[in-house]
Amino acid sequence: MRELSAPVRPDPVPGDPGRPPSAADRVAELERENAKLRRINKVLMDRVERSMDFQGGAFSLFQTAIVLEHKVRERTLELERALHKLEDSNRDLARAKELAETMRTRLFEAIESVSEGFALFDADDRLVLCNRKYLSYWPAVSDRIQAGIRFSELAAMVARAAAMTEPPPELWLRERLEHRHDMNGPFLNQLADGRWIQVNERRTRDGGVVGVYTDITDIKEAEARRRASEQAEKSALMLLNDQLQEEVRDRVAAEAALRLAKAEAEQANLSKTRFLAAASHDLLQPLNAARLFVSALADLEQPAQNAELVHNIDIALASVEDLLAALLDISKLDAGAVTPEVADFPLRSVLAPLATEYAAVAAERGITLSVVGSGAVVRSDMRLLRRIVQNFLSNALRYVQGGRVVVGCRRSGANVRIEVWDNGPGIPPDKIAEIFQEFRRLDTPGTKGRDRGMGLGLAIVDRVARVLGHPITVHSEVGRGSVFAVTVPRGIERRVMRPAATAAARQLGNRLAGTSVLVLDNEPAVVAGMEALLRGWACDVVSAGSGEEALALLSGMPQPPDLLIADYHLDDGALGVNEVARLRAACGRILPAVIITANRTAELAEEAKAAGCLILNKPVKPAQLRAVMSGLVG
């Protein structure tokens, strides 16, 4: 351990002129004075006892001696008390010095014991102390690193000794001093012996600098080994790839037919997936328009019978929307691109719409449909779970002839079993596994033509159930009927205050009165539906089919609109986010904007967010659109 401190002086020698007396010297001096006074006292007493005169002088001398002895005693006592105080002070001073030396030794030992290098510099950037580990990093100059050396001198000395592998000494010295000035994060040194040192420095309260030097050679070597291993693995893979390619070339003739069949199957599957993805926009466009028209119609006053029809149409459209969305999600299951949106929700939100949707189908076929209500709360993906139950229910109605279908729930510990019972023809035991395969249909009486379906429903159920982790069970007896069931975990009930939500929705609707909206969409039906819906909310609406048309309308408006609503995919490859940017530039300010699209990818969401636009997916839910608009213009 090296430190910067005043040299420790030896204890003063008695009799040494020019040195201040120590406590021991003062005690010795007091003892000598005490002995001298005792001798004087004894001589005086002897003289008094031997001296006699005939004029009575002996008595006077005796009195004087007594007084003198009393004073001598007082002086002696004072000297003894002072001596005791000096001894106490000396002991306290010795103990304090011993404690300070102990603490100092412990501090030095602690610094020496750490595995990292340690160096402390004062406010003038001079070395105060450092440990041996620090010196071991600079063996070529360690004997010249002394307390009091400036850091700049030390760094220059290290650079001249070529103690670093790279960069060149001049560049390293410049970078090291710059880092010392800024102290921006750790500084890495690669020593000439191959070791890597990471330097972490911090300012002290008095303006000094404390530095910790950590040997990270093991980390660097592990990283180098990892890179070498990755490179070796890559080389091995490339070699293996070459070998495989050679084998493939050798076996091309024998496997040509197999490869061709596999390629055709993969192409067919890829074409199906691409078709569903590409058709999503075209499939959802008319549905989106229909939902807008129905919502606009629902806002108008209607006779009770018409209002019920409008309500049923809305429920049916919602079912179509859920069905299309589920199909689009299921098309991505093979690629693992569907992530269930798991949440807690009441089962009645799944069962009640299904009961309404299929009541007319059951009545038309002379089937008694009973959907037993349930207050259970489950944890699942509502849309995908609805798809499972919907398939069970549609299959039961398809195969039952004038019988009965019952949908109900059973609690089973921490789960809920959703069951669909029917008294149809039943399924042979050897066919139960087969019905979950694609394009597999049972030939039963009464299921001809369109009623037979395409044989995809239960295949989709099987895939969705595996994604959700919900077990599917089937119990069937030929001639008596079947029970299809799915087991779902129970969820946590959350109470919903419906009156408050209705009041809030009504308040949001009122806030849109007089709002100026520019709608940009290339589909006339969607434009007409959106106009009808927005005007039902007392909005001022202007519409355009392209960006150029929207700019022309904008130039003729007395003031910019309050809100932009644009479809993402427009004609001729134009994109809604780009057209919104053009309209904002023409207005000279950032207009609130909503982008409507059937594309549900995260990339599009990020693009819209970067453009300062909100996203709504097709088919647009009017309540959701109204809430978003109210938030933007409010």
Q: Is the same domain home to 577 and 479?
A: no
Mean pLDDT of the chain: 80
Please state which of the ranges 41-55, 61-75, 304-318, 568-582 shows the lowest mean pLDDT. 41-55
Q: Is the same domain home to 502 and 441?
A: no
Dihedral sign computed on CA atoms, order 489, 495, 501, 502: positive
The average pLDDT across 478-492 equals 92
pLDDT of residue 11: 40
Residue with tokens 């060149």: 168
Task: Sort 165 into a burial class: Cβ within 10 Å, 0-12 / 13-18 / 19+.
Answer: middle
pLDDT of residue 66: 79
The average pLDDT across 580-609 equals 88
How far, in Å, CA of 35 to CA of 22, rounded? 20
| Sheet architecture: strand order including 593-597 | 540-544, 516-520, 563-567, 593-597, 614-617
- pLDDT, tens digit (0-9, with 9 covering 90-100), for 543-593: 999 999 999 998 888 899 999 999 998 888 899 999 999 999 998 889 999
Q: Is the same domain home to 484 and 507?
A: no
Q: Is the same domain home to 347 and 485?
A: yes
Count the residues in the chain.
634
pLDDT of residue 450: 41
How far CA 283 is from CA of 288, 404, 618, in Å, comes to 9, 34, 10
pLDDT of residue 414: 92
- pLDDT, tens digit (0-9, with 9 covering 90-100), for 30-51: 788 778 877 877 777 666 556 5
More confident residue, 376 or 166: 376
pLDDT of residue 60: 67
Closest CA to 192 of 138, 132, 142, 119: 138
The average pLDDT across 437-454 equals 56
Neighbours of 582 (CB within 10 A): 15
Confidence of residue 519 (pLDDT cuts 50, 70, 90): very high
pLDDT of residue 530: 86
Question: Residue 307 above 50 pLDDT?
Answer: yes
Query: Which of 62-66, 273-277, 541-545, 629-633 has maximum average pLDDT?
Result: 541-545
pLDDT of residue 335: 56
- Tell me if 435 is assigned to some domain: yes
Percent helix, strand, coil in the chain (nearest 5)? 55, 15, 25
Q: Is the same domain home to 519 and 609?
A: yes
- Tell me if 534 is assigned to some domain: yes
How far, in Å, CA of 366 to CA of 404, rounded? 9
pLDDT of residue 484: 94
How far, in Å, CA of 227 to CA of 345, rounded? 49
Confidence of residue 126 (pLDDT cuts 50, 70, 90): very high
Domain boundary among 461, 489, 517: 489
What is the chain's Cα-based Rg? 48
The rounded percent of the chain whose pLDDT value lies above 70 is 80
Q: What is the CATH number of the domain that holds 584?
A: 3.40.50.2300
Per the structure, the count of domains in the chain is: 4
Question: Residue 197 above 80 pLDDT?
Answer: yes
Domain boundary among 162, 187, 215: 215
Q: Is the same domain home to 453 and 510?
A: no
How far, in Å, CA of 551 to CA of 389, rounded? 49
Domain boundary among 80, 111, 142: 111
Find all residues with CB under 8 Å of 125, minimum gap 6, and list them.
150, 151, 152, 209
Compute, in degrees rounded to 10, the torsion defined by CA atoms 401, 406, 407, 412: -130
Q: Is the same domain home to 464 and 442?
A: yes
Q: What is the CATH number of the domain that holds 394?
A: 3.30.565.10
Question: Residue 341 above 70 pLDDT?
Answer: yes
- Tell me if 185 is assigned to some domain: yes
pLDDT of residue 497: 45
- pLDDT, tens digit (0-9, with 9 covering 90-100), for 252-272: 877 778 778 777 766 766 666
Please state which of the ranges 156-160, 180-184, 371-375, 618-622 shows the lowest mean pLDDT. 618-622
pLDDT of residue 248: 79
The average pLDDT across 315-322 equals 70
Confidence of residue 162 (pLDDT cuts 50, 70, 90): confident
- Tell me if 233 is assigned to some domain: no
pLDDT of residue 5: 38
Confidence of residue 358 (pLDDT cuts 50, 70, 90): confident
Alpha helices in 412-468 (DSSP H): 457-468
Question: Residue 338 above 80 pLDDT?
Answer: no
More confident residue, 307 or 143: 143
Q: Is the same domain home to 122 and 82?
A: no
Q: Is the same domain home to 556 and 424?
A: no
Q: Which domain holds residue 85?
A: 2-8+21-111
| Sheet architecture: strand order including 187-191 | 2-3, 127-130, 117-121, 209-215, 196-203, 187-191, 164-166
Find all residues with CB under 8 Å of 537, minimum gap 6, and list them.
299, 509, 512, 513, 515, 626
Question: Residue 495 above 60 pLDDT?
Answer: no
Task: Sort 367 into a burial class: Cβ within 10 Å, 0-12 / 13-18 / 19+.
Answer: buried
Q: Is the same domain home to 467 and 351?
A: yes
The rounded percent of the chain whose pLDDT value lies above 90 is 21
pLDDT of residue 281: 57
- Tell me if 97 is assigned to some domain: yes
- Tell me if 152 is assigned to some domain: yes
More confident residue, 321 or 111: 111
Q: Is the same domain home to 143 and 211?
A: yes
Question: Residue 176 above 60 pLDDT?
Answer: yes
pLDDT of residue 444: 59
Q: Is the same domain home to 470 and 605?
A: no
Alpha helices in 114-216 (DSSP H): 132-136, 151-160, 169-182
The average pLDDT across 624-633 equals 86
pLDDT of residue 346: 92
Alpha helices in 192-341 (DSSP H): 217-250, 252-299, 304-330
pLDDT of residue 278: 58
Dihedral sign computed on CA atoms, order 132, 137, 141, 146: negative
pLDDT of residue 498: 43
Q: What is the CATH number of the domain that holds 160?
A: 3.30.450
pLDDT of residue 149: 92
Please, are residues 444 and 399 in contact by the beta-carbon 8 Å criterion?
A: yes
pLDDT of residue 48: 58
- Tell me if 430 is assigned to some domain: yes
pLDDT of residue 473: 93
The average pLDDT across 196-201 equals 91
- Tell me if 297 is assigned to some domain: no
